[in-house]
């Protein structure tokens, strides 16, 4: 703030009225008073008979006398008043004010006077000068000569938005009437819809004319004979418009004489029109925000057809995983998130189970926090064998989903995990929060997590082909054999190139003229009824090595599976079943992590003979059981071999083992001390095996 003061000294003769100095404001006037500042003059006289000694030309209030001014509404100095720049008496060249001396000071300050009625001026408010009396140190001026002002504002909006353009007038003093016009530098930027929000008595819509080129003219007369007076700013009317221009365009709002000459008439004094101060405005159409980015897996595989949402605005990712959302509105709070409709089974395979097992055993830790989150398929914030079992059961069709965990989660790529080795303990974000959006272009990337897909081999297809990644093949072979109708068979499935295998999965599409009853795996001791399912003539099979870091070695032409079934029609063995890649992607996993595709062959040589009516049957009751379980065995096998019966819980722990001698068919087992849950009963006699599920409830 700038201070300007001028000292005009004159000497007047007068009688001494006291033996002391005494300063008095003898006159004051406001030279200009506008909404952005004030300029005023005061006359000060020393009416005492002693010098007012200011003790030197310094800027310290200890050596000088202060003149302090306030803007007020009640003529009393209080905390509600606004203080104006001080004037110091005693700054060079003035050091002494002699008796009878009169001088003038002109002061200017940029403080706004809008909303105040009085200017209060006080000499020596800190009582630094020992005066005869201090009652005459205050002078009050009314602020009736404020500068009349016409004003519009700076407004921003977006294309298609309806906005209000307000028109203000400030500091009327006995105004009898006025006229003015407005125009726009780019009138095609908007369309005027209506005029409203009228703020003056007797101002109506008929007093405001809008021309085709958006020029506006206003004529008004005061209903009050003495004219209208008010301090401060008042909205006199508003234009309501719809923005029709393009992003980034602006138009100036001008008060000018293009339509009507600008005139304001006051009754005091009644004479020439008053020319108001004009404050033009501007309307700009904001550049709407574009939000783009990419949605990928942790290995940078793009995730197409992902829905990215920014509040109500959405976009789908393309084949490269990229999306673009246009026309977001600046200044709005946005939440940007991603979601995807998908099957739980997509991208899941026995490889995911193998990797989770290696992570649990700390043989090979999952390398990213995203894969660790994917491994927690049951949503209990830990990784355990339960997650492995749940993936197996979902692939085989025992369960339809993972329960409370979603198919997909999407985490902002910018998020930094506090502990990447244990991300499940964190409350990680699943969306971007964008308060008061400002930037014209923003880039927001997401990392997608497909629940259960720790191997990161999701490709968007339920059964992706492994041809491009398979180093070799795992071969299932059947012998070429004619089968009779209405006969029960146990058919061996033997293998080739099945060395150090740690896991496999495949599905067989069954001939509708057979009834499949049991699947056994003599070469895989830990293969149970939980490793396969039969539904809609499809046999789904999944197995992984339960040992810590093993791999099974099966010689070429050894029996891998024994499949027991009954025929209803005569047929050839090659027509019994085919590999069905639409049910489960056929793949085998080598101990070293190599992938094997799985094929089926028919061999003419009778390396293995079909064994007719050779099987084990096992029945049990009650199921569910609580106290005592009764087992009945029908071992229809030509060999005179004992039968081993092993019972394990759902975590693979053995709870009971019994051996039945040849000819023994009954067994009784006490289950009263078992924990409630699912158990697997496996009976093995030579190369023949049968497994069944049992439920224990207490």
Average pLDDT over residues 534-557: 82
Q: Worst-scoring range by mean pLDDT, 25-34, 103-112, 525-534, 564-573?
A: 25-34
User: How is residue 572 written in tokens?
Assistant: 């050839």
Helix H, strand E, coil C: the string for 602-666 is: EECCCCCCCEECCEEEEEEECCCECCEEEEEEEEECCCCCCEEEEEEECCCCEEEEEEECCCCCE
pLDDT of residue 509: 94
C-alpha dihedral sign at 232, 237, 242, 246: negative
Task: Answer whether residue 10 shows pLDDT above 70.
Answer: no
Most confident of the ranges 117-126, 186-195, 617-626: 186-195
Higher pLDDT, 607 or 583: 583
Rounded CA gap, 361 and 356, in Å?
9
* Residue 676: band (very low, low, confident or very high) from pLDDT cuts 50, 70, 90: confident
Mean pLDDT, the chain, as a whole number? 84
> Contact 171/35 with Cβ under 8 angstroms?
yes
User: Any idea what DSSP says for residue 140?
Assistant: E
pLDDT tens-digit map of 475-498 = 888 888 888 999 888 888 888 777
pLDDT at 179: 94
Pairing mode, strands 446-450 and 289-296: parallel
CA 131 to chain centre: 70
pLDDT at residue 121, as a whole number: 93
Percentages helix, strand, coil for the chain (3-state, rounded to 5) are 5, 45, 45
Encoded tokens for 536? 């809609």
Measure Cα distances from 49 to 75, 94, 114, 133, 341 in Å. Answer: 30, 18, 41, 13, 97
| Per-residue pLDDT band at 469 (split at 50, 70, 90) | very low
Asked whether residue 244 carries a pLDDT value surpassing 70, the answer given is yes
Weakest-pLDDT range from 58-67, 78-87, 272-281, 593-602:
58-67
Query: Phi/psi of residue 99, each to 5°?
Result: -60, 135
User: Both ends of the chain: CA-CA distance in Å?
Assistant: 88
Residue 315 has pLDDT above 50, yes or no: yes
Angle between helices 350-360 and 385-396 (to 10 degrees): 170
What per-residue confidence (pLDDT) applies to 607?
Answer: 45
The pLDDT of residue 538 is 93
Instruction: Indicate the pLDDT class of residue 237, thresholds 50, 70 and 90.
Output: very high
Give the pLDDT band of residue 182 (cuts 50, 70, 90): very high
Mean pLDDT of 545-559: 75
* Exposure string for 661-675, b = 16+ CB within 10 A, e = fewer: eeeeeebebebeebe
Please give the share of the chain, as a percent, with pLDDT higher than 90: 38
% of the chain at pLDDT higher than 70: 89
Which residue is associated with the tokens 């197996």? 392
Highest mean pLDDT among 5-9, 548-552, 595-599: 595-599
Give mean pLDDT, residues 238-244: 94
Let me know: does 122 contact 68? Beta carbons within 8 Å: yes
Most confident of the ranges 340-354, 433-447, 646-660 = 340-354
Lowest-pLDDT range of 78-87, 397-406, 568-577, 608-617 = 608-617
Report residue 415's pLDDT band, with 50, 70 and 90 as the boundaries: very high
> pLDDT digits over 584-640, tens only?
889 888 877 777 888 888 877 454 444 444 567 778 888 888 888 888 887 665 556
Look at 99-103, 130-134, 659-663 and tell me which has the smallest mean pLDDT: 659-663
Measure Cα distances from 1 to 39, 70, 109, 115, 143 in Å. Answer: 12, 15, 6, 20, 21
What pTM does this model have?
0.55
Identify which of 654, 651, 656, 658 has the alpha carbon closest to the alpha carbon of residue 678: 651
Read off the pLDDT of residues 318-346 as tens digits, 9 standing for 90 and up.
Answer: 999 999 998 888 888 999 999 999 999 99
Q: Does 689 have pLDDT greater than 80?
A: no
Q: What are the phi and psi torsion angles at 37 (to 5°)?
A: 170, 175
The Cα 119–Cα 38 span in angstroms is 10
């Amino acid at each position: 703030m700038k201070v300007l003061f001028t000292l005009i000294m004159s000497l007047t003769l007068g009688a001494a009225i006291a033996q002391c100095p005494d300063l008095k404001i003898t006159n004051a006037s406001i030279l200009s008073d506008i909404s952005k500042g004030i300029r005023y003059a005061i006359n000060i006289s020393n009416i005492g008979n002693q010098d007012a000694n200011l003790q030197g030309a310094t800027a310290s209030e200890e050596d000088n006398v202060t003149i302090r001014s306030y803007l007020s509404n009640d003529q009393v100095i209080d905390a509600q008043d606004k203080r104006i720049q001080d004037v110091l008496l005693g700054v060079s060249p003035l050091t002494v004010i002699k008796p009878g001396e009169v001088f003038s000071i002109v002061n200017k300050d940029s403080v706004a006077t809008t909303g105040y009625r009085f200017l209060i001026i006080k000499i020596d408010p800190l009582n630094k000068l020992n005066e005869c009396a201090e009652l005459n140190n205050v002078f009050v001026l009314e602020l009736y000569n404020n500068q009349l002002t016409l004003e519009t504002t700076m407004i921003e909006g977006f294309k298609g938005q309806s906005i209000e353009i307000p028109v203000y007038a400030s500091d009327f003093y006995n105004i009898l009437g006025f006229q003015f016009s407005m125009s726009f530098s780019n009138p095609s930027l908007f369309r005027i819809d209506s005029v409203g929000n009228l703020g003056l008595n007797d101002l109506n819509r008929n007093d405001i004319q809008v021309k085709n080129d958006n020029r506006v003219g206003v004529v008004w007369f005061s209903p009050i004979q003495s004219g209208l007076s008010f301090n401060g700013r008042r909205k006199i009317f508003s234009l309501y418009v719809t923005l029709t221009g393009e992003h980034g365009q602006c138009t100036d709002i001008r008060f000018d004489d293009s339509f009507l000459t600008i005139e304001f008439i006051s009754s005091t004094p009644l004479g020439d029109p008053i020319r108001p101060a004009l404050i033009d405005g501007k309307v700009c159409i904001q550049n709407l925000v574009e939000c783009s980015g990419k949605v990928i897996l942790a290995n940078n595989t793009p995730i197409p057809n992902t829905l990215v949402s920014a509040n109500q605005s959405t976009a789908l990712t393309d084949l490269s995983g990229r999306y673009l959302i246009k026309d977001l509105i600046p200044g709005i709070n946005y939440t940007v998130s991603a979601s995807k409709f998908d099957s739980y089974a997509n991208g899941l395979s026995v490889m995911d189970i193998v990797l989770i097992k290696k992570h649990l055993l700390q043989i090979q830790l999952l390398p990213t926090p995203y894969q660790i989150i994917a491994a927690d398929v049951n949503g209990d914030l830990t990784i355990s064998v339960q997650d492995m079992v749940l993936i197996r059961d979902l692939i085989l069709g025992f369960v339809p989903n993972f329960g409370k965990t979603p198919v997909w989660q999407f985490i902002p790529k910018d998020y930094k995990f506090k502990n990447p080795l244990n991300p499940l303990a964190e409350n990680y974000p699943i969306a971007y929060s964008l308060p008061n959006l400002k930037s014209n272009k923003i880039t927001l990337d997401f990392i997608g997590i497909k629940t259960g897909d720790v191997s990161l081999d999701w490709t968007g297809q339920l059964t992706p082909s492994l041809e491009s990644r398979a180093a070799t093949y795992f071969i299932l072979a059947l012998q070429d054999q004619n089968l009779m109708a209405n006969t029960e068979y146990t058919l061996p499935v033997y293998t080739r190139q099945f060395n150090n295998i740690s896991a496999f999965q495949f599905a067989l599409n069954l001939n509708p003229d057979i009834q499949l009853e049991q699947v056994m795996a003599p070469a895989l001791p830990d293969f149970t009824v939980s490793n396969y399912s039969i539904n809609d003539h499809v046999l789904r099979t999944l197995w992984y090595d339960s040992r810590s870091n093993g791999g099974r070695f099966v010689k070429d032409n050894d029996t891998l599976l024994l499949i027991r079934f009954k025929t209803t029609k005569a047929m050839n063995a090659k027509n019994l079943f085919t590999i069905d890649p639409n049910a489960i992607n056929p793949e085998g996993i080598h101990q070293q992590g190599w992938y094997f595709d799985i094929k089926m062959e028919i061999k003419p040589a009778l390396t293995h003979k079909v064994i007719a009516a050779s099987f084990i049957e096992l029945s049990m009751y009650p199921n569910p059981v609580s106290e005592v379980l009764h087992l009945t065995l029908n071992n229809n096998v030509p060999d005179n071999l004992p039968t081993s019966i092993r019972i394990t819980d759902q975590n693979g722990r053995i709870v009971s083992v019994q051996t039945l001698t040849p000819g023994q068919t009954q067994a009784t087992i006490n289950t009263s001390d078992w924990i409630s849950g699912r158990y697997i009963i496996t009976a093995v006699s030579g190369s023949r095996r049968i497994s069944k599920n049992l439920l224990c409830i207490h």
